[in-house]
Structure 1
Amino acid sequence: MITDPLFYAAAVPAVVLMGLAKGGFSGLGLLSLPLMALVVSPVQSAAIMLPILIVQDVVTVWAYRRSWDRRNIAILLPSAVVGIVSGYLLAARVSDAAVTLAVGIVSIAFAVRRLILERRKTLPSPAKADVPRGLFWGGVIGFTSMIAHAGGPPFQIYVMPQRLPRDVFVGTGAVFFALNNWIKVPPYIALGQFTAENLATAAALFPVAVASTWAGVLLVRRVSGDRFYTLVYALLVLVGAKLAVDGARALL
């Protein structure tokens, strides 16, 4: 287990942010890995974070066990599996930076457009969970999740136009990413990232992970449905900007 106090000075806030994201404040979790990467390598950060994500998934799935959309899961999951496998096979050939930049630009464009329409009160009728778009975005989610740990924004781009009730939106994301994270376990094992040190370090952070996720669930339920969507769109703009800047810097 890692014993350096400096590591935990970065890891604890990172896990708290991920817990709030898992609780419903989508997007905050993308700040976690960069924080941890200040003190350990990005690869080790991801390896430590995955078991923590799985523990946090248990909390959110339990909290929203009666509020999730089965049709969305059924549409997204098959192509997400294909995306994860593709990401694993192409990891050495695909630039993380290019993927990150592309996801960032698309996220900003989508969120800004939706915020403008919302401000003008001209939002189109809620979209349906259709198969062609779902299969496309499911593949994108799986691929970006495996390559650049950025599956959240593509998920939001597909699901948010459906204007699901707040709890159903959060619950659908909770169930989907819980399944998604378990599917990523074999590739991580194959890449040799689950060392005894990484697993023990993750276990030491489990209490913080559980407490912060419950805090996220409780805080989200205090936000009204309409304000929740506006907040998530705004967070998506910020997250998209961060991804775009990170990707551009790495490319340059």
Structure 2
Amino acid sequence: MPELAWWAWALLGIGAVVVGLSKTAVPGAGTIAVAIFAAVLPAKQSTGVLLLLLIVADIFAVTMYRRHADWRTLIKLAPAVVVGVLLGVVFLWFADDVWVKKSIGVILLAVIAITLLRRRFASGVETGGSHRVAAATYGTLGGFTTMVANAAGPVMSMYFLAARFEVKAFLGTAAWFFAIVNLFKVPFSIGIGIITVPGILIDLVLVPLVVAAAFLGRWLADRMPQSVFEKLVIAFTIVGAVYLLIV
């Protein structure tokens, strides 16, 4: 077991709670967990530790919202996401941690701005050619950011918001999306040394907090108005993006 100070364990515990909540109630908040884990653990180790916790949370999210997923949307996103993940693997070989964080922060803020403009001047994600362009753009960015920093939550949240999904459809589609993508990332993460035995030991301590927070998130989602839900998603996305730019 890695030797960590009590305050480090406390912060990791908070991050684990955020992971559970982000999967079942407030998508976009997961970026806060990314920031916490990166502040406490070495950069690469933090990514691997967080990935395994996200997969645990994905299991509960899929179980809770499995009937609400929009599979047509997921199928349209799939090719672009695979391309984005592979680009992320290549990027990790050449970029240092600082460059990665700044790049993702810029991407997230750009995505927020574009999505808010689309919501102001259009009724949602359009059909036809525009929809395909949006799926390709968001899918590639989502695959890239999830591979390099587990930070695709805000990117895909903006896409699902633009699609005008109601709360349960949003959470169900996001649950299946990240469950599939995170499992797809595991072999690459092992190959480049991101997932380690010490990291797995840390996960074993934090998993109960993730599970408890996932159930709490389901309780909150059942009682959360659509307008509040959307505002929380956008707010957490902006906070996460700004953090990545300034750290």
TM-score bucket of the superposed structures, by smaller chain: 0.7 to 0.9
Distance 1:36 1:90, change over 3 A: closer
Please name the residue that 2:150 is paired with: 149
Deviations 1:190-246 (A, max 9, x none): 012322221122122111111111111211221112332233223333333323334
Give the Cα–Cα distance (whole angstroms) in 2 for the partners of residues 245 and 39 of structure 1: 17
Corresponding position of 1:126:
124
- Determine if contact 2:25/2:221 at 8 Å carries over to the other structure: yes
Query: 2:99 aligned with 1:101, yes or no?
Result: no
Q: Residues of 2 paired with 1:98 and 1:36: CA distance?
A: 17
TM-score, with normalisation over the residues of structure 1? 0.86
CA distance in 2, matches of 1:109, 1:207: 36
| CA RMSD, Structure 1 to Structure 2 (Å) | 2.1
Partner of 1:120: none
Structure number with higher helix proportion: 2
Report what 1:170 is aligned to: 171
Letter in 2 for 1:141: G
State the AA in 2 paired with 1:38. A
Is contact 2:31–2:237 with CA below 8 Å preserved after alignment?
Answer: no
8 Å Cα contact 2:88-2:143 kept in structure 1: yes
Query: Structure 2 vs 1, CA of residues 38 and 228 (structure 1 numbering), >3 Å: closer, same or farther?
Result: closer
- CA separation of 1:234 and 1:31: change in aligned 2, threshold 3 A: closer
State the 1:41 CA deviation.
0.7
Q: Normalised by the size of structure 2, how large is the TM-score?
A: 0.88
Match of residue 24 from structure 1: 25
Identity of aligned pairs, percent? 29
Query: Aligned runs of 1:69-218 on 2, under 5 Å?
Result: 69-94=70-95, 95-110=99-114, 113=117, 117=120, 124-128=122-126, 130-218=131-219
Q: Which amino acid aligns with 1:231?
A: L
Equivalent residue, structure 2, for 1:250: none
Letter in 1 for 2:124: P
TM-aligned CA deviation for residue 110 of structure 1: 3.7
Q: What is residue 249 of structure 1 aligned with on the other side?
A: none
Rounded Cα–Cα distance in structure 2 between residues aligned with 1:53 and 1:141: 15
Matched, 1:220 2:224: no
Report matched runs for 1:43-82 at 5 Å.
Answer: 43-82=44-83
CA deviation profile, 1:127-171 (whole Å, cap 9, x unmatched): 246333212221111011112332122212322111112100111
Structure 1 residues not aligned, in runs of 5+: 118-122, 247-252
Verify the 8 A CA contact 2:68 2:168 in the aligned structure 1. yes
Shift of 1:98: 4.0
CA distance in 1, matches of 2:18, 2:218: 13
The residue type paired with residue 223 of structure 1 is M
Partners of 2:101 and 2:221 lie apart in 1 by: 32
